[in-house]
Amino acid sequence: MPTKVAIVGATGYAGGELARLALRHPEITLVAAIARSRQGEPLRAVQPHLHSAPESLVVGSDVGDAEVVFTALPAGEAAKQAQGWIDEGRAVVDIGSDFRLRDAALYERWYGYAHPAPALLAEAVYGLTELARERLRGARLVANPGCYPMASLLALAPALAAKLVTEDIVVDAKSGVSGAGHTVDDAYLYGTIDESVRPYGVPKHRHTPEIAQEAARIGGFVPRLTFTPHLVPMTRGLIATCYAPLRAGVTARDVADAYARHYAEEPFVRVTASFPATKATLGSNWCLVHAVVDEPSARLVAFAVLDNLVKGAAGSALQNFNAMRGYPETMGLEALPLWP
């Protein structure tokens, strides 16, 4: 029997993308689409690309008999409701930020609020699927990574795991405007963003402690991290360019071997022979990774590109769902990227 699923936050970009993927997943029945706005309207009217959504699937306020609840909500909102769903025997996959950090005090520092459910932070599995498969099986609560951490960590993970680099890590990342969510803020209007690139959130972007936390888990040391995100004038796509000093004696061959070995069996991460482009991942769950050595400075330069709404949000959430439920990890995610 397919798993009954609800999406809470179904009218946003990430929620809509999750619905698109869920509707074609052979082991999912989408039973509820939840949002504060547009209640009573068919989901396919609210999300105009969801042509195959049944007319009966309307935006509502009740998760019904869902066995798994996906949440795509503003910071702090999923944490207010997750314990109740878990107590009812449901599993929760949060695409938002509420369970990514293990230390509740970091939410006050970086997000500006006291965490509503700090006891759940220890239970939440950080869902970077490629590094968490065993912990995901049967999990009740999964924290989906942010889009920037997803790309940054996949770019750096082989070097961190192989102890090739030292602590001074710089991440320079650029994302399309859909990463900001479904908003009418002037900063994201066409006339503002067209033909313009700008940094934002420096030095207090909320993804900074998440990248540092998971880099420390992989590498076994606390990094000195500088993270600078930029907004670029495209709808989808994200690139993370990561810099780290190499340990003494590490060669370009060591780096190439570490990346090839680390991702040899991964269904959605490909190490490319040349510099990757965001467009080569459009609409897909693929992440493309490339690493080079800058010999004069003895630095690793590693790149990762992905679609911020798929691998950076809804696709990785569905990949985590597959791992949780024991389904093939690629189920429902087999589509290749769009081109051109």
Query: 90-126, pLDDT tens digit by residue?
Result: 999 999 999 999 999 999 999 999 999 999 999 999 9
pLDDT at residue 209 in the model: 99
pLDDT at residue 187 in the model: 75
pLDDT at residue 186 in the model: 78
Kindly tell me the burial class for residue 61, based on how many C-beta atoms sit within 10 Å of its own C-beta (0-12, 13-18, 19 or more): exposed
How large is the average pLDDT for residues 182-201?
85
Span 265-289, pLDDT tens digits:
999 999 999 999 999 999 999 999 9
pLDDT at residue 191 in the model: 86
Considering the candidates 35, 147, 157, 293, report the single residue annotated as catalytic: 147
Which residue has 């006050």 as its token pair?
108
Sign (positive/negative) of CA torsion 84, 87, 90, 95? positive
Q: Report the mean per-residue pLDDT for the chain.
A: 97
153 and 128 Cβ atoms separated by less than 8 Å: yes
Indicate the Cα dihedral angle 97, 67, 315, 194, nearest 10°: -60
SS (H, E, C) the chain: CCEEEEEECCCCHHHHHHHHHHHCCCCEEEEEEECCCCCCCEHHHHCCCCCCCCCCCEEECCCCCCCEEEECCCCCCHHHCHHHHHHCCCEEEECCCCCCCCCHHHHHHHCCCCCCCHHHCCCCEECCHHHHHHHHCCCCEEECCCHHHHHHHHHHHHHHHCCCECCEEEEEEEECHHHHCCCCCHHHCHHHHCCCCEECCCCCCCCHHHHHHHHHHHHCCCCEEEEEEEECCCCCCEEEEEEEEECCCCCHHHHHHHHHHHCCCCCCEEECCCCCCHHHHCCCCCEEEEEEEEHHHCEEEEEEEECCCHHHHHHHHHHHHHHHHCCCCCCCCCCCCCCC
How large is the average pLDDT for residues 60-75?
98
Residue 293 backbone dihedrals phi, psi, to 5 degrees: -110, 125
pLDDT at residue 190 in the model: 86
pLDDT at residue 180 in the model: 78
282 and 296 Cβ atoms separated by less than 8 Å: no
Task: Indicate if 242 belongs to the active site.
Answer: no
**Is 182 a residue whose pLDDT tops 80?**
no
**What is the model's pTM?**
0.97
Please, what are the domains in the chain? 3-145+311-325 (3.40.50.720), 148-308 (3.30.360.10)
**Is 184 a residue whose pLDDT tops 70?**
no
pLDDT at residue 179 in the model: 86
